[in-house]
């Protein structure tokens, strides 16, 4: 009995420590965003909403433009990625073809290239295509970049769905497309949700491509936008940056809470009970 109490106390302490460790930066961000003098040196805490007023109100900061760009780019990227990945995963797990393992490994290998090694060529290609500073310039590389991850998640998810389900569907009269859209996709909805959300978060947080391939508020995304916030005299406006960052976490937080049930299912409960 005593040992149990002790171990549950220890677990609790460890959990608190981990939570504190992960959340501390967010708390600091949150606190700083409401501080009138967000400075290490001056110290003190003077509550204010001015930072939020600035971020949302001052046109020249373009915060809302950045947010819109980010949401559009991330949404399009994640939807396209999941669509492509589920088709590919279906082919790899269900259709008869040679070299499936090779395809998967190849896709994985492609995703190993460091972003930095690609960015130069990507910049040239986008310039040639006259796509610099457009959504397309970001959406295309994002899809390519996230696709391997999405594919791997979905392949492992599809592989867990019993093949009898497909066979039953075929006997019930389904074509291959109907098997995918009427059986496999609905059954793997939790997996698809978590894949879509992960893709969204990846695209939403991406920095380097966005930095290089966009030039102004018309297509610049939020991570880059915030990083390039500047005060009137070239100083770093910490208060505004933190306020913008806080606002930026909201959509992600919202999605995660909204689809929490599906995501937890998707990540933990792989097996589909027939």
Partner 1 sequence: MKIHINGVQKTYSTLRKKTEVLKNINITVEDREFFVLLGPSGCGKSTLLNIIAGLEPVTGGELRFGDRLVASVNKKDFVQPKDRNVAMVFQNYALYPHLTVFENIAFPLRIARAGAEEIKKCVEKSAEILKISKHLQSKPAELSGGERQRVAIARAIVRRPDVLLFDEPLSNLDAQLRTATRVELKKLQRELGITTVYVTHDQVEAMTLGDRVAVLKDGLVQQLDTAIGLYERPANRFVAQFIGFPQINLFETEVKNGTFSLCGADFPAPAQAPSGPVWAGIRPSDLELKDGGALNGRVDTMELLGRDAVLYVSCGQLEFAILSERKDLREGDAVKFSLKPGKAHCFPR
Q: Which residues bind partner 1 (CB under 8 A)?
A: 162, 164-165, 167-174, 178, 182-183, 186-187, 189, 272-274
* Residue 54 vs 166, nearer CB to partner 1: 166
Token digits of residue 85? 């990945």
**Distance separating alpha carbons of residues 145 and 110, to the nearest angstrom:** 9
Minimum Å gap between C-beta 250 and partner 1 is 31
User: Between 192 and 212, whose beta carbon lies closer to partner 1?
Assistant: 192
59 Cβ contact partners less than 8 Å away, ≥ 6 residues apart? none
In the complex, the smallest distance separating the C-beta of residue 270 from partner 1, rounded to whole angstroms, is: 13
The residue among 139 and 179 lying less far from partner 1, judged by its C-beta, is: 179
d(CA 83, CA 15): 37
Distance CA 50, CA 240 (A): 9
Q: Smallest distance from the beta carbon of 185 to partner 1, in angstroms?
A: 9
State the nearest-atom distance from the C-beta of 183 to partner 1, in Å. Answer: 6
Q: Which residue in 202, 252, 86, 87 sits closest to 154, CA to CA?
A: 86
- Residue 133: CB minimum distance to partner 1, A: 43
CA distance 205 to 199: 10
The residues, ordered by sequence, that sit 6+ positions from 202 with a Cβ below 8 Å of its Cβ are 142, 145, 146, 149
233 vs 273, beta carbon nearer partner 1: 273
Q: How far is the CB of 262 from partner 1 (least distance, A)?
A: 12
Q: What's the number of CA atoms in the CB half-sphere (13 Å) around residue 90? A: 20
Smaller CB separation from partner 1, 91 or 272: 272
Of residues 158 and 204, the one with the C-beta less far from partner 1? 158
Distance CA 209, CA 197 (A): 20
CB of residue 189 vs partner 1: minimum separation in angstroms?
Answer: 7
Supply φ then ψ for residue 47, to 5 degrees.
Answer: -65, 135
CB nearer partner 1, residue 120 or residue 162: 162
Contact 246, 29 (CB under 8 A): yes
């Amino acid at each position: 009995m005593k040992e149990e109490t002790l171990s549950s106390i220890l677990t609790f302490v460890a959990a608190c420590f981990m939570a504190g460790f992960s959340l501390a930066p967010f708390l600091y961000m949150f606190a700083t965003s409401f501080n009138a003098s967000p400075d290490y040196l001056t110290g003190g805490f003077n509550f204010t909403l001015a930072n939020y007023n600035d971020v949302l109100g001052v046109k020249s900061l373009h915060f809302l433009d950045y947010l819109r760009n980010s949401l559009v780019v991330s949404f399009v990227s994640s939807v396209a990625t999941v669509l492509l990945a589920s088709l590919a995963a279906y082919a790899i797990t269900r259709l008869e073809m040679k070299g499936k393992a090779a395809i998967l490994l190849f896709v994985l290998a492609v995703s190993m290239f460091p972003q930095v090694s690609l960015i130069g060529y990507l910049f040239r290609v986008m310039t040639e295509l006259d796509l610099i500073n457009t959504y397309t310039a970001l959406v295309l590389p994002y899809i390519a970049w996230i696709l391997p991850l999405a594919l791997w998640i979905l392949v492992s998810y599809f592989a867990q769905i019993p093949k009898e389900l497909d066979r039953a569907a075929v006997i019930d009269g389904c074509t291959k497309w109907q098997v995918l859209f009427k059986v496999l996709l609905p059954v793997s909805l939790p997996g698809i949700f978590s894949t879509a959300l992960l893709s969204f978060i990846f695209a939403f947080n991406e920095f380097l491509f966005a930095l290089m391939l966009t030039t102004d508020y018309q297509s610049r995304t939020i991570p880059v936008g915030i990083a390039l916030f500047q005060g009137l005299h070239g100083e770093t406006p910490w208060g505004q940056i933190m306020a913008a960052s806080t606002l930026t976490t909201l959509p992600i937080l919202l999605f995660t809470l909204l689809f929490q049930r599906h995501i937890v299912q998707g990540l933990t409960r792989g097996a589909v009970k027939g």
